[in-house]
Homo-oligomer: A and B are copies of this chain.
Amino acid sequence: MIVQGADRTGIVSAVAAVLARHQANIVSLDQYSDDPLGGAFFQRTVFSLDNLPLVLPEIARDLDKQVKRPYALDYTLRDLSVPLRMAVFASKADHCLLDLLWRHRRGELPVSIPMVISNHPDMAEEVRGFGIPFFHVPSAGPDKSAAEAEHLRLLKGNVDFVVLARYMQILSGSFIEQAGVPIINIHHSFLPAFIGAGPYAKAKERGVKLIGATAHYVTEDLDEGPIIEQDVVRVTHADTAADLMRRGADVERAVLSRAVLWHAEDRVIRSGNHTIVFA
């Protein structure tokens, strides 16, 4: 259960009272208030109950009455034993896609993967080898509307979130809105930032000592959405631009898989342009 809204005295107590009434055993509870005096309030509560599917609607009714209306809070309730359905978008670079598929097969990602969509056909056989449907949707040319329409047909009703695993196409605002599910992107990151094409060559030219990656939710402002996770690796002057790319690929897949895991476990709450991560 995720509860969020304006902080007020008594919220934690009201929420806990509802759960206690239903004999729910609280497994973990993370709570965060961004300002003790009237800031925003966030709470993630994991609880176990014997007949969860049956009792969830009753708990929801109680929460509406005891929490939502009196405290003007939003809440979401989810059965963690039902995995979220994740679509993966990929292009030619396969390191992030394969890392996700591999971790999924090893049981490390609590999601189902109903489809992989790519604008290149190259990975079809590899993906299907994992027992996962692969759809090739070409998207050449400046007009992406046909491709995006096809994407929406495939996604509609079938997925709970989308992961862009080095999908090198820009998504339109209209697509993001119509998709109606969270979209997670991964991109390389540098200290300082290098704008435009060829960032690894520029990083090499400037002699950076760290190569990083950022996983974030996609918003209309490309690469400006709420950050979920970041990490860096150390490089030296002796690393070529190709070495930087390889090290960058390693950190990208590590960061993306952590972000996907946390999203799949409902550990990430969006708030404005940032996230609360109860990792």
Give me the interface of A with B, judged by CB distance under 8 Å: 7-17, 19-20, 23-34, 36-37, 43, 48, 95, 98, 102, 106, 108, 129, 189-193, 204-210, 212, 214, 223, 226-227, 229-232, 236-238, 246, 250, 254, 272-277, 279
Contact = CB atoms under 8 A, between A and B. Distances in A.
Nearest to A250: B254
Nearest to A187: B192
Contacts of A31: 26, 28-31
A230 B108 contact: no
Q: Which of A15, A34, A192, A277 is the most central at the interface, judged by chain B CB atoms within 10 Å of its CB? A: A192
A33 B95 CA distance: 30
A95 B107 CA distance: 12
A16 B106 CA distance: 40
Given A28-B238, A30-B30, A227 B206 contact: yes
- A interface majority secondary structure: mixed
A256 to B, nearest CB: 14
A55 to B, nearest CB: 13
Given A29-B30, A236-B277, 16 more contacts: A8-B25, A10-B20, A25-B36, A30-B31, A129-B129, A189-B191, A205-B273, A206-B273, A206-B274, A207-B226, A208-B230, A209-B230, A209-B277, A210-B231, A210-B232, A236-B279
Contacts of A27: 33, 36
A273 B237 CA distance: 12
Given A20-B9, A28-B31, A275 B207 contact: yes
A63 B74 CA distance: 30
Given A227-B207, A227-B209, A236-B277, A28 B17 contact: no
A107 to B, nearest CB: 9
B48 A26 contact: no
Given A9-B25, A29-B29, A191 B230 contact: yes
Contacts of A37: 25, 48
A17 to B, nearest CB: 5
A21 to B, nearest CB: 8
